[in-house]
Amino acid sequence: MAEKTRYSDEELEEFRGIINDKLALARRDYNQMMRTLMNADGNDVDDTSPTYKILEEGSATQSKEELIQQASRLQKFIQGLEAALVRIENKTYGIDRITGELIPKERLRAVPHATLSVASKNARKR
């Protein structure tokens, strides 16, 4: 029997569902972070009151920087998931971009935007 070179359409549809679920959550979280950063939900006077509490201001700045980092990582994750959907459309999803072999389903379920098997990823680090 020949070795399988790509996932079946049924398997690709399963992965599409997983990716769409993760994408919906990631987009929701990203939008929430952006609303927080832009103070869209705030009804307070942070942006108009005189600032005299230096410690609170420093803490708020640090929190904002952390939120910006998280939003940036989430945006990269969303782009990875969207690219995975394109690979599903092209029927190239789940194929290791170095070896050309199938990435195990367990890995794709855990990391649906993966383009490398664990072995390829570890080999790249060396």
Q: What is the pLDDT of residue 20?
A: 98
Q: What is the pLDDT of residue 2?
A: 54
Domain boundaries 9-125, CATH class: mainly alpha
Q: What is the pLDDT of residue 4?
A: 79
Pull the structure tokens for residue 126: 């060396």
Domain boundaries of the chain, sorted by first residue:
9-125
Q: Are 79 and 19 in contact (CB under 8 A)?
A: no
Nearest to 8 by CA among 112, 109, 91: 91
Residue 94 half-sphere exposure toward CB, CA atoms < 13 A = 25
* Per-residue pLDDT tens listing for the chain (126 residues): 456 789 999 999 999 999 999 999 999 999 999 998 888 655 555 555 555 555 556 666 778 889 999 999 999 999 999 999 999 999 999 999 999 999 999 999 999 999 999 999 998 887
Q: What is the pLDDT of residue 40?
A: 61
Nearest to 31 by CA among 65, 85, 71: 71
